[in-house]
Structure 1
Amino acid sequence: MMLRIPTLIGLTASALIATWILVGLRADAENAETIALGRTIYETQCAACHGAQLEGQPDWQMPLPSGRLPAPPHDATGHTWHHPDDILFRIVKEGTAAIVGGGYESDMPGFADVLSDAEIRAVLAYIKSTWPERERSYQAETSARGR
């Protein structure tokens, strides 16, 4: 029995769609696990300064008596979503002063000795998961452009 071309195309398309759905579901499950891990790490390593709800410290744009800025929010009211992934990763890993340079001083330490690269990425995935679509899209485009 010979299959007709439209039937063959239909079967192939159905198989491709089923594969795409399964891969997507697997990616969503992995993403959910990563976000859950990131939330746990955020709660233990970041929330003391950046807030349990990612709200940052009060008056985060006004220098403290030390001249340093308070911890900014990581929710949509802050500026985290303006930065590409590579910069966010380096800030968490190396600390803000190491990234800004020029003698800039910050209370944000680097977490290279505390968190693995995968854990840093999980924290960032959690933070990004809380943003509205507009901020997520902007940040993704910024990351794709490389700044």
Structure 2
Amino acid sequence: MAGLALAGAAITWAFAPSGGSDVRIAEGRALYAEHCAACHGANLEGQPNWKERLPSGRLPAPPHDETGHTWHHSDRQLIAITKHGPGALVPGYESDMPGFAGVLTDAEIEAVLAYIKSTWPEREHAFQEQRTRADPGP
């Protein structure tokens, strides 16, 4: 019985609007500041004109707040992008974003995503949660 209660608590925590505990979100905020903010903005705002291609043909870093499209992706997709770069979802896609496999652990990537998700309004959070639940994975 205790195992079921613990499993239920874990599922509730995983899908909580904040995406996790205050400690996890604080860790994610610090990791985001160190590894992501230079491109995606200190306030998750992304680079200017992020929908317009650069002379290189690549797109600027998008925002991670509700004005961007991060919340359109499932957790599995967001983890894959973070670990391996955007080409993980669209093979051959060229981006200035590096993959962070070998730089951030899976737990650290999940903490960064918990921080990002903690900033979204309920509508975007609910949409992303639904995407995550519907994503069967590879």
- Letter of the 2:46 partner, please give it: G
Deviation of 1:98 after TM superposition, in Å, equals 3.2
Deviation of 1:142 after TM superposition, in Å, equals 0.7
In structure 2, C-alpha distance between the alignment counterparts of 1:89 and 1:113, rounded to whole Å:
13
Q: Does 1:47 align with 2:37?
A: yes
> Equivalent of 1:117, from 82, 106, 125?
106
1:142 — aligned with what?
Answer: 131
Residue-pair matches, total: 123
Deviation of 1:99 after TM superposition, in Å, equals 2.7
In structure 1, C-alpha distance between the alignment counterparts of 2:93 and 2:75, rounded to whole Å:
21
Deviation of 1:104 after TM superposition, in Å, equals 1.5
Please give the per-residue CA displacement for 1:19-73, whole angstroms capped at 9, x wherever unaligned. 99xx69xx68x61111000000000000000000000000000000000000000
TM-score by length of 2: 0.83
- Mapping of residues 53-132 of structure 1, within 5 Å: 53-101=43-91, 103-132=92-121
* Contiguous gaps of at least 5 residues in structure 2: none
Structure whose residues are more often helix by fraction = 1
- Letter of the 1:87 partner, please give it: Q
In structure 1, C-alpha distance between the alignment counterparts of 2:99 and 2:90, rounded to whole Å:
13
In structure 2, C-alpha distance between the alignment counterparts of 1:56 and 1:98, rounded to whole Å:
20
* Aligned-partner SS, 1:135: helix
Percent identity for Structure 1 against Structure 2: 61
CA RMSD of aligned residues (A): 2.0
Please give the per-residue CA displacement for 1:102-145, whole angstroms capped at 9, x wherever unaligned. x2210011000110000000000000000000000000011001
* Contiguous gaps of at least 5 residues in structure 1: 1-18
Deviation of 1:97 after TM superposition, in Å, equals 2.0
